Amino acid sequence: MSVLSAAQPPFDPRDPLGLDDLLDPEETAIRGTMRAWAADRVMPYIAEWYERGELPGIRELAKELGSLGALGMSLEGYGCAGASAVQYGLACLELEAADSGVRSLVSVQGSLAMYAIHRYGSEEQKRRWLPGMAAGDTIGCFGLTEPDHGSDPAGMRTYARRDGTDWVLDGRKMWITNGSVAGVAVVWAQTDADGETDGRGGGIRGFLVPAGTPGFSAPEIRHKWSLRASVTSELVLDGVRLPADAVLPGVTGLRGPLSCLGHARYGIVWGSMGAARAAFEAALDYARTREQFGRPIGGFQLTQAKLADMALELHKGILLAHHLGRRMDAGRLRAEQVSFGKLNNVREAIEICRTARTILGANGISLEYPVMRHATNLESVLTYEGTVEMHQLVLGKALTGLDAFR
């Protein structure tokens, strides 16, 4: 007997490929926990937060996420959950299905700030910062991007010079998630070999800058039309004096911050599909109930074609995220493969949101529905942690063996 003619469970429009079969019970439980938390603590309020352009109660939300093990989720020890890459990805998907700003809070905390300390920090630095960050008691931020240097971080102007045994930092960082509420900032700066005492010479180094350090401020950036329910800041360093043990000892050069970005990009591969899922499901529900010309619009061929194409790209993207997650768990994930996922999934997620908006018609621009909010958020997700063009060039170099970056 053909397997296609055997008794099968009913077709599930929300899981048409049966991707839930890829999950083990623990993964399913983690997904359910994060989905329930987002439904209770984010979804009833997110439209108002977005309209007001703020994320009120961010410190309380961080502590709740810490209690769920979502902060530094895939890191080991120091109060971190030690979850698998797939488990972390599922958490990112559910959080971004609520809002990209909430997933960004978790990504910057865990995949950037905590990851940098966990991978490159001293034992003393890890013990000082990571337990509180894992619990959500301390929020972290990651200062790499500058007003004039985004895709080319090697050109950064933030500079750290030696003064005796201390370091003195001057510069500015821009578009820093969590900056204004962070208890510690991981700041990357240019150094030179003059006065070095650790034998590592010059190059880009990472520094841990506690909030309240004289000369350090983090004014919040206002008037955003994307990621409005997220704290975004500028970091200003004006003669910030730090002790010798503020530097991350484990890395010199761009390899440090770029490895952190790779970890964050992996979460985006999953998270963008959460935003796409929310938009798709809103369009699907709307198409079943909205009537025009005497029948639900989901019964018209053009609407069904849109829904079919949206479902194809959504679930191909989720399948790609699963594949990359399994590779990461096996220690086989390459940076080029993360670029593959980030480029494809965010680009397709935006297109899904735009198509969903056409199905909802004028209602598609209303905050009563999640579609336009996700679409505008994804415009930021599209360019942070590497623009479309940068990921295209990463893949182009991998495919041809020729470097077209310069």
Task: Report the catalytic residues.
Answer: 385
Place of tokens 């905590």: 114
Please say whether the beta carbons of 236 and 200 come within 8 A.
no
Q: How many CB atoms lie within 10 A of CB 201?
A: 11
What is the C-alpha to C-alpha distance for residues 191 and 201, in angstroms, rounded to an integer?
Answer: 8
DSSP state of 109: I
Helix 335-360 vs helix 388-400: angle between axes, to the nearest 10 degrees?
A: 140
Cβ neighbours, 10 Å, residue 261: 22
**CA distances for 94 relative to 73, 99, 312, angstroms:** 14, 9, 19
Q: Name residue, tokens 């991998």.
A: 398
Strand duo 140-143 + 184-191: pairing: parallel
Q: What is the largest CA-CA distance in the chain?
A: 80
**Tokens linked to 51:** 């309209």
Report DSSP letters for 333-393, one per residue.
Answer: --HHHHHHHHHHHHHHHHHHHHHHHHHHGGGGGSTTSSHHHHHHHHHHHHHTTS-HHHHHH
Return the closest-CA partner of residue 227 out of 172, 179, 284.
179
